[in-house]
Each structure stands twice: as structure tokens, then as C-alpha cells.
Chain A
């Protein structure tokens, strides 16, 4: 069944709550006193007489419609309801102290610990347990919280009894939340499949064909199977045909949903990878420099988000807290950009033309940065909280839901890439960058200060990594090892897409993300990743310079 998520439920829940509050406020205080008395009497009745008397007492308690009944009855079914020998009062018991810890079933007050001999458990038989289960199910179906009601539908459908159908029908009449209604309809239809009335079964099959639930599908498929005597489970041919059609249509819908889900999650993963890799693509493309510390720039960005969050929390009123993510973006860009520029000026510029040495030196820098952050912030994960507008999830139906933060990351990623592409395409600096990428010597002799371009490009690439870090802080743990998680993937994307090509990086990131998600259900998450790596290694056979390779003289650089 579809999971209910905070965001979709919030409004309906709130509406219910307000309505209930308006109706109840004037009466609640008056009712409280007499309600307690009545309820206590009903609880006491559970401890007396034969099993038949107890059954009647259970029904009487349900008739009261008291919300506390569910807990008491569940305790009764589990053998956690007992009589205190000193005063014959009915109490809830739980193991604790030297014997039992007692609680008052009406007020919920703690009544202290007693020895095991001081109480006598109220006995129940299996018939009573069955009754309790059904009744508790009915109670839960009228719970005020829709999520609880949905869970109750699932619960009663796991062990349906004779009166479950009637129970669901009654509950369905008063149900107002669409999602719970759908679940109840599916449950009712499922139960009706077992009815003796052919038309009822046919109607049930038709209604079930609208759902997208794999358990319903297998239920329908069972109808046209043959039992041990060679008879169809479903005697009527017309119903069988309808069931087959319904099972097929559910199957198609499930397959489509699966593809849509993989595509969606693939795009989500792809945008995360793209954010992580695009800064790398710039520095690698323009300078031919492998920046092994790129992952640490991402990590620094994430820690910047943490610091900005702490500043907002301590220095500003609480209502502005949600804005800290927005504020962290430019801060992270500047901080990591400055780190990048410093790195380029102090180390990398001395190593141009020696790409392997650059690789090792930047790896060294990455180790230093990791240890630096570990010394400063500690080795443990730091918590970066989602502001309220980034929290929660959106339910897309059919059991697929996406967290809000991931949707924003996709949008954010698109925005970053478009800004970057426009910047490279239209700005003066972008022109210089492209000139240096194509032919460094020529660009230099045309008067472009290649050293300056290098430093600024490096700052730009690092700054974007920092911005990516802010985004990643919203969906993953912020720890000193954060960057290491992404570095190999980022490199694979850049190599796969083709060095110096923005398009290649985009196609590489989304391609990798989507392929990964489609492989995962087939082979498990980790093996899927291994397969992707092998595919890339093989792909490079065909296109050693990547998908969108630079052609002509630039390729030889």
C-alpha cells in the first residue's frame, strides 16, 4: 500500500482536527467526569464472570466508543491486563522492577511496582482473542489519524474474519480521506471476491482492476488457477476472463510505474552526480588538471552549510532559520572558491604539464583538508537540518514518493548548469576560458592572461563544488569523508562524457544515474555500481576520449 507522507496528509489532518476540536470543546470537560466512571466500570467488567460474560463486556466497552478502549483490549488480548489482589482493581501490567510495574488503565497513572504474586492475570481464550482483534481493528478504523486508519485497513486485511467485510463497509461510509478510501475499497473488493454472488464478484474484479497493488494482482491471478481436483478456483468463466484482464492491466500499470520510478530516481541521482562532477569537468577541461581534492571542496561546502546553520540558529530569530540554506549557497561558493584559488596559486600552477604529479599533489591536499576538518569539527557526522520547506516528501501515487529536498536539488542542479553554460557562453571570462581550453599557446599570444584564467577557472570549479556541497548536506551525512564518496563517480562521469565538454558531463551524469537505478533492482545496489564501472571501462574502448570528445588539434593537447 502507498505510504502516507507528512506533506500530503498534513492539510486533511489539520482540517479534521479543527473540525473535531470545534465540535468537542464545549462538551469535553463535562463529559470527562462521567466518561471516566463509565469506562472504569467497563474495564472492571472485563475481569468478571465466564468467557461469555467477558465477551459481552468487550462488546459493551466497544459500544462506549472510548479511545482508551483499544489499549485496554490489546492488553487483555496479550495477557497484560490483571487484577490487583489487594483491592480487586483492574490494572495494566508490564515487566519491571522485581515483578510487575502497574498502570491505571483509565487515567494512565503509574501505580508502582508489585511482586508477581500480588496480581492475577485475566485469562482469555482464543475465541476472545479473535473477537478482540476484530474489535480493535474496528476501533482503529475510526481513529482520528488517517495514517492510523490506513494502517488499520492493512492490519484487518492481513487476517480477515467473517465480519471484516461489514466492518470495512461501515468504516468506508464515513471515510473522507481519498487514500484511505481507496485502500478500503480495495479491501472490500478483495473480500467480495470470495462471495457467492457472481455479480458481486464481477463488480469486485472490475473495481480491483483500477488499483496498482502487486498483492491484488496475485490475488486475481489465483482466480484462474486450477485446484487439486482440476477445477478452477473461480467457477464462472466470465469472472475468470474479467480477472485475467484486470490482472494484466494491473501488471502493465505496475511495469510502467516501475520504469517511471527508476527514471525519476535516476534523474535525482544524476543531478546529484552532475552537481558533484561539473566543477571537476571545468578544471579538468580547461587545464587538463586532475583535481583529486575536488571531493574535499564539496565537503567544505557542506561544512560551510553547517556553520551557516549554526550562525542562523544562534544569532537570528527562529523564523528566519529556514533561509539558512539560501544564505549558505553564496557563502560556500566564496569559501571554497577562495580555497580553490589558493590551491591553484600555491601548488598547481607549478605543476602544469605534469598531470600525474598534479594528481598526487592534489590528493595530498585532499588528505590535509580532510584531517583539517576532522580536527576542527570532529570525526563524527555533523547534523545539517532540513528547513521546513525542504522537509517531507511528495507522494506520486502507486507507492512512489520523492523527498522534497531531492526535487529541489534537481531544480537547483538545472539552474546551476544553465547559469554556468550561459556564463561560459556569453561572458568575457567565458570566452577566455574557451580560448585557453582550445589552444593555450595561441590564446596566450593573443594577450589572454592564461595564468589569471587558470586561477579564476579553478576558483569557479571549486566554488561550484562548494555549492554542490550545500545541496548534498541536505540529503546525506556531513562528515570529513563526504567528498570521498563522490570522487570516483565524478571522475567516471567526466571521463565518460568527454573532457572539456559541458554537454558530455550532463549526459554522462544523467546517463550514469539512470542506468544505475535501472540496474539496482536487477542486481542490488552495490553490484549495480560494479556493473556500471565495468560498462564504462568497456565503453572507453570504443570512445577513448569520451562521448563528446574534442576534435582536431585540441584533442592532442
Chain B
């Protein structure tokens, strides 16, 4: 760990680390404390509901980081990242489904309710092993990773780039959605997987479990951020940025563009899968709706709003857009789509560097210096 930590120190500088540490402290200490130690009458008391909501945002932030890693740094705009997010969610959902055991509506210890309902007699082969947590946890990484590896290999090998890749990835998630809507697929069809009871023995409806999942999500986000930081700062990261800016030239210089892209795409899918796996226990349901192309495109706007090509921007964007979504879909649902649509237009036209870019410019103006360009 030693050399790596020092390299990480180098690439962001002590001030950024202070800021980052402060943020982590807010999420790890201040927010839980507002929920746990304040009396319910206090105006600063944070309801349990909000812990789940922030936990959800944390998962979205991980997904945004995963997309920013490939879009911001390698120029690959995937419009199908919801596929990996959803798959991670389905994998953990399958585990929790098996954990229900005979507490389901039909009381069948072996089969989940929807299979009993469809009159299935035995568990399909691909459901085997999911009663074990370690197996499911492994699959959270393997399933999205494998899909991304195969898909990426096919795409990058034949040099599908730019908008072509975007459209093909959108078609992929669309095809997944159609497939998962089918009852015959064995993933609960339309309704997906739901009615989960517990995870690792902890009751999912208990406030303490929600807090636990929240803490795990914070730690996972920090981990994902550090992994992305590390990739971006490595030599590979430099190659990726070069690929983004002049792909042919990098290829002529003798680098294997295909391998670099494939690695980072697969890594990104694995991180998205992790985000999905943490997301599903907190919302209590996973269905094919996660695979709608619109949801995957929305991730791109989180990244763009925050500022693509800056990892912290992805996190900021995910929180900002989803916060606004939560507020407006509650307060004025009919104007939310206008706002979201407008956001797409305004951000791409007027703030190509997003909120983080804006903040940097402001900071530069305030301090009277040119903003230091970080790596």
C-alpha cells in the first residue's frame, strides 16, 4: 500500500485530500449522528427514510463514477451501463430471493414465489449456488464483468467507436430489457424480484440494517473512487486519455488500444455491478425497468452535470441531479421532465465542464489565479 498511497497523494495534493477526507467524515459521521443521536423533535433530526435515499444516491454516484471512468477518460460513451448496474442488482436479488425460503406467500422452501406461481417444478440451473452469499457476491462482479468483456471485445476489436458504440450499447440494454420482461427467462418477468426479507441474517426492514447498508455504501463509494483515481493516475490512464483525444495516433505509436479500452470498460462494468448490488437491498426491488434505455442515458447527464473527466464531478452530478429529481417529482412532477431535458441541453451547450468546471472558474476568479489543472 505504501508506494501507492504516496502516488495518490502526489496526484491530488494535500488540499484535495483534506477536502475529500472532510466529505467522507460528513457522510460517515455527521449524517449517521444526525439520525442516531438527535431526538426526533430536533429540527436537524434526519429521518430513517433519508438514510435510504442518501444510500441510493451513493449507489448512483458509484454508477456515475463507473461511467465517467470510460466516458471522461477514454471517450467511450456507453448508453447501456444500466445493464451492468441491473445485473449486479439481479444477482444480489437472486440471493435474497433464495434467502426468503419458506417465508414466501406459497411457503415453498426451494422455489421463489413467482416460480411457484408459474407452476415451475424445480429451480432452473442458473439459480443454483445463489443461496450462498459468497457465491452471489462473486457473481456480482463476474456476471457484469463477463458481459462487458464479451461485448467490449466484440466492439473494440472491430473498432466501433463514438456514436456507433453508444448506439450499440443502447441496443444491448434494450435487448436485455426485452429479454428480462419475459417470464420464461426465470427472473420474475415484469415484476422482477422483490419481497426480500433479510440479507446475511439482518432484517431488511430494520432501521439498523438500513444504517448498515448506508455505511457500506459510503465505504464502497470511497473504494470505487480510489480505484478510479488509481487507474486514471496510472500509465494506463495516460494511454486512455490519449485514446480519447487521438485514437489512431495511439494505435500507430504501438499501444494496444483494444486491450486498454477492454480493460477499463470491463472494470467500469464491474464497478457498476457493485453499485447495483448495493442499490437493490436498499430499495427492496429489482425489475426490468432498470434496463430501460432512458435510465442508462440519464447516467450520462449526471456525469455531464458534475463535469466529465473529473471523478469528483461524477459524484457531485449524481447527487445534484438525483436530489433535484427527488424534490421535483414530489413537488411538481409535470415540470421534472422539462427540467431534466433542459439540463441535457444547457449542460452540453453552456457548461461543457459541468459544476466542477464552474466551481474551478469561480475559485480562480476569487483567488485571482489560474485554476490549477489537475491530472
Q: In the bound complex, do residue B162 and residue A534 qualify as a contact, i.e. CB atoms below 8 Å apart?
A: no
Point out the residues of chain B lying under 8 angstroms from A542, CB to CB.
158
Q: In the bound complex, do residue A360 and residue B348 qualify as a contact, i.e. CB atoms below 8 Å apart?
A: yes
Q: In the bound complex, do residue A526 and residue B181 qualify as a contact, i.e. CB atoms below 8 Å apart?
A: yes
Q: B362 within 8 Å of A by Cβ?
A: no
**Number of A residues, CB within 8 Å of B:** 45
Q: With A537-B172, A544-B164 given, is the CB distance from A371 to B337 under 8 Å?
A: yes
Task: Scan residues 131-183 of chain B and give those whose CB is less than 8 A from a CB of chain A.
Answer: 151, 154, 157-160, 162-164, 166-168, 170-172, 174-175, 178-179, 181-182
Q: In the bound complex, do residue B337 and residue A368 qualify as a contact, i.e. CB atoms below 8 Å apart?
A: yes
Q: A510 within 8 Å of B by Cβ?
A: no
Task: Scan residues 534-549 of chain A and give those whose CB is less than 8 A from a CB of chain B.
Answer: 534, 536-538, 540-542, 544
Task: Scan residues 317-355 of chain B and give those whose CB is less than 8 A from a CB of chain A.
Answer: 334-335, 337-338, 340-345, 347-349, 352
Q: How far is the CB of B311 from chain A (nearest CB, A)?
A: 19
Point out the residues of chain B lying under 8 angstroms from A368, CB to CB.
337-338, 341-342, 345
Report which of A357, A364, A372 forms a contact with B352, defined as CB distance below 8 A: A357
Report which of B164, B174, B300, B345 forms a contact with A533, defined as CB distance below 8 A: B174
Q: B59 within 8 Å of A by Cβ?
A: no
Q: In the bound complex, do residue B344 and residue A533 qualify as a contact, i.e. CB atoms below 8 Å apart?
A: no
Report which of A371, A527, A540 forms a contact with B182, defined as CB distance below 8 A: A527
Quick one: closest B residue to A534, CB to CB? B175
Q: With A371-B337, A533-B172, A544-B159 given, is the CB distance from A526 to B182 under 8 Å?
A: yes
Q: B293 within 8 Å of A by Cβ?
A: yes
**Number of B residues, CB within 8 Å of A:** 43
Q: With A359-B163, A364-B345, A544-B158 given, is the CB distance from A536 to B352 under 8 Å?
A: no
Q: How far is the CB of A136 from chain B (nearest CB, A)?
A: 38
Q: A259 within 8 Å of B by Cβ?
A: no
* Alpha-carbon gap, A357 to B175, bound state (A): 24
Q: B304 within 8 Å of A by Cβ?
A: yes
Best-surrounded residue of B335, B348, B352 (most CB of chain A within 10 A) = B348
Point out the residues of chain B lying under 8 angstroms from A488, CB to CB.
170-171, 174, 293
Q: B301 within 8 Å of A by Cβ?
A: yes
* Alpha-carbon gap, A524 to B340, bound state (A): 36
Q: In the bound complex, do residue A370 and residue B337 qualify as a contact, i.e. CB atoms below 8 Å apart?
A: yes
Point out the residues of chain B lying under 8 angstroms from A290, CB to CB.
163, 166-167
Q: B222 within 8 Å of A by Cβ?
A: no
Q: B36 within 8 Å of A by Cβ?
A: no
Q: B260 within 8 Å of A by Cβ?
A: no
Quick one: closest A residue to B294, CB to CB? A484
Q: B92 within 8 Å of A by Cβ?
A: no
A364-393 interface code vs B (CB 8 A; 1 in, 0 out): 111111111011000000000000000000
Q: How far is the CB of B137 from chain A (nearest CB, A)?
A: 28
Q: How far is the CB of B74 from chain A (nearest CB, A)?
A: 12
Point out the residues of chain A lying under 8 angstroms from B335, CB to CB.
371
Q: How far is the CB of B146 from chain A (nearest CB, A)?
A: 16
Q: How far is the CB of A443 from chain B (nearest CB, A)?
A: 22
Q: B77 within 8 Å of A by Cβ?
A: yes
Q: In the bound complex, do residue B297 and residue A363 qualify as a contact, i.e. CB atoms below 8 Å apart?
A: yes
Q: A64 within 8 Å of B by Cβ?
A: no
Point out the residues of chain B lying under 8 angstroms from A365, CB to CB.
341, 344-345
Q: How far is the CB of A349 from chain B (nearest CB, A)?
A: 11
Q: In the bound complex, do residue B170 and residue A360 qualify as a contact, i.e. CB atoms below 8 Å apart?
A: no
Q: In the bound complex, do residue B162 and residue A533 qualify as a contact, i.e. CB atoms below 8 Å apart?
A: no
Point out the residues of chain B lying under 8 angstroms from A94, CB to CB.
none
Q: A299 within 8 Å of B by Cβ?
A: no
Q: With A290-B163, A529-B175 given, is the CB distance from A371 to B341 under 8 Å?
A: yes
Point out the residues of chain A lying under 8 angstroms from B341, CB to CB.
363-369, 371
Point out the residues of chain A lying under 8 angstroms from B343, CB to CB.
364
Q: How far is the CB of A165 from chain B (nearest CB, A)?
A: 42
Q: A351 within 8 Å of B by Cβ?
A: yes
Q: A9 within 8 Å of B by Cβ?
A: no
Point out the residues of chain B lying under 8 angstroms from A255, CB to CB.
none
A299-327 interface code vs B (CB 8 A; 1 in, 0 out): 00000000000000000000000000000
Point out the residues of chain B lying under 8 angstroms from A538, CB to CB.
154
Quick one: closest B residue to A541, CB to CB? B158
Point out the residues of chain B lying under 8 angstroms from A359, CB to CB.
77, 163, 166
Point out the residues of chain A lying under 8 angstroms from B297, CB to CB.
292, 360, 363
Point out the residues of chain B lying under 8 angstroms from A530, CB to CB.
175, 178-179
Q: A491 within 8 Å of B by Cβ?
A: yes
Q: A269 within 8 Å of B by Cβ?
A: no
Q: In the bound complex, do residue B344 and residue A537 qualify as a contact, i.e. CB atoms below 8 Å apart?
A: no
* Alpha-carbon gap, A288 to B166, bound state (A): 14
Point out the residues of chain A lying under 8 angstroms from B175, CB to CB.
529-530, 533-534
In the A-B complex, list the 8 residue pairs whose CB atoms are closest, starting with the nearest.
A364-B344, A367-B341, A368-B341, A371-B337, A533-B175, A364-B341, A357-B348, A361-B348
Which B residues are within 8 Å of any A CB, using their own CB? 71, 77, 151, 154, 157-160, 162-164, 166-168, 170-172, 174-175, 178-179, 181-182, 293-294, 297, 300-301, 304, 334-335, 337-338, 340-345, 347-349, 352
**Known A347-B345, A356-B77, A533-B171; further 4 A-B contacts with Cβ < 8 A:** A360-B348, A368-B345, A537-B172, A544-B159
